[in-house]
Amino acid sequence: MALTDLTAEQLAELKSEIQAEYDQLKSRNLALNLTRGKPSSEQLDICTGLLSLPGEDYFDKDGTDCRNYGNLVGLESIREIWAEVLGVDPNNLIAADSSSLNIMFDLISWAYIWGTNDSERPWKDEEKVKWICPVPGYDRHFTITEHFGFETITVPMTPTGPDMDQVAELVKDPLVKGMWVVPMFGNPTGITVDEETIDRLATMETAAPDFRIVWDNAYAVHTLTDEFPPIVDVVSKGGNRFWAMSSTSKITQAGAGVAFFNSSDENLTWYNKHAFVRGIGPNKINQLAHAQFFGDAEGVRAIMRKHAASLAPKFTKVLDILEERLGKYGVAEWTKPTGGYFISMDVVPGTAQRVIELAKDAGIILTAAGSTFPHKQDPEDKNIRLAPSLPPVEELELAMDGVATCVLLAALEK
């Protein structure tokens, strides 16, 4: 029965019961952490064999000696494998060092200082730069655009992607220079942008000739099932509009994988002009090791099935606890993702910060309230990002049961 259907007497009785549960929870002196989507030790063990590669086999298929300088665009072997994974032209794909976030920061930095290949002037010389931020979204994306002083404009995520009616209206402003999108199994909603929305993003008229979509495909192959959804080649649809990123960070070794940048010929020429000044080339030894370890695109998918086998039971556990503990009370709604690393939960408006405070006092650390919004300002104070991947299932069960208690208590206090 929903809380709104209970009498005052029933509410008081339930609050007393939940308060007692919470007091008992605090007495256990827990130390549990659900803040970030890190792979577990079990997942990291999946690719331990990578650490022994490439050994003394240090030549790429085209004869490149990977021990030496050079090759700004990355090794042919890893680009071919990853292009097959993404379904894109390998000639429009750069293999870089480990961090796709670094590439995003570079792109924004260089556009700000010098302008893009389509810019009339550097972005720093504009009256103002505005940026579209679908919410709830990824905190580190927002931090980049905040760092440069951009005005961030939020649009809601729908089950098919960003609210395109709002986006289409916003891009009529020439000061709106771009937007963030996590297109597949998005952070934190788990939503995959559908092809109709992609087509609208690719073809919509924008007042800014240098409008860019940072297409952060971080979870392109991160399914929780045996199914791998099709990956749309947005560069072939949208030309210069898309800056598309992906990486192996949550496939092989977190922070020690290979990042990729996929874009148009013109965009890559512009990118390489600046990248050549910044450095001589990426870590080719690491790229070769990954190419040898994967073998081909099916090798990547085989690894991801192992990740899914590790992750799926954790997501199931979280969803089961949320339904069992909260479903009947109407105090929260949550996503049921089929991929990615997160579950997005909306609690009673005005209580997310209180839920997180209660959890912290009970030894359960959650992502800070507002983190899924620019400037950490959730206008309704209701969204909480849950990251089930790191803890063992037993700890996860304990933590989520505690979180459910905190959600109920905060709602009853309200």
38 in Cβ contact with 254 (< 8 Å): yes
Domain boundaries, the chain: 3-43+302-413, 53-297
The answer to whether the peptide bond before residue 388 is cis (omega within 30 degrees of 0) is no
Per-residue pLDDT tens over the stretch 170-228: 999 999 999 999 999 999 999 999 999 999 999 999 999 999 999 999 999 999 999 99
CA distances to 80, 94, 342, 348 from 389, rounded to whole Å, are: 30, 29, 8, 25
- Per-chain mean pLDDT for the chain: 97
- Looking at residue 122, what is its pLDDT? 99
Query: 3-43+302-413 and 53-297 share one CATH topology?
Result: no
- Looking at residue 274, what is its pLDDT? 98
pLDDT-derived band at 7 (thresholds 50, 70, 90) equals confident
Long-range contacts of 289-292 (CB under 8 A, 24+ apart): 289/50, 289/53, 289/54, 290/50, 290/78, 290/248, 290/252, 290/257, 290/258, 291/60, 291/75, 291/77, 291/78, 291/81, 292/53, 292/54, 292/57
Per-residue pLDDT tens over the stretch 317-357: 999 999 999 999 999 999 999 999 999 999 999 999 999 99
Q: Give the single-character DSSP code of 148.
A: T
pTM of the full predicted structure? 0.96
- Looking at residue 392, what is its pLDDT? 95
Tell me how far apart the alpha carbons of residues 343 and 335 are, in angstroms, rounded to a whole number: 6
Q: Return the beta strands (E) in 263-349 as ranges.
A: 332-334, 343-347
- Looking at residue 320, what is its pLDDT? 98
Residue 21 has phi, psi (to 5 degrees) of -60, -45
Has residue 1 got a pLDDT over 80?
A: no
CATH fold of 3-43+302-413 reads: Aspartate Aminotransferase, domain 1 (3.90.1150)
The answer to whether the peptide bond before residue 136 is cis (omega within 30 degrees of 0) is yes
CATH fold of 53-297 reads: Aspartate Aminotransferase; domain 2 (3.40.640)
Tell me how far apart the alpha carbons of residues 351 and 413 are, in angstroms, rounded to a whole number: 9
Torsion of CA 252, 255, 257, 262, to 10 degrees: 120
Q: What residues contact 403, with CB distance under 8 A and at least 6 apart?
A: 34, 355, 359, 364, 366, 386
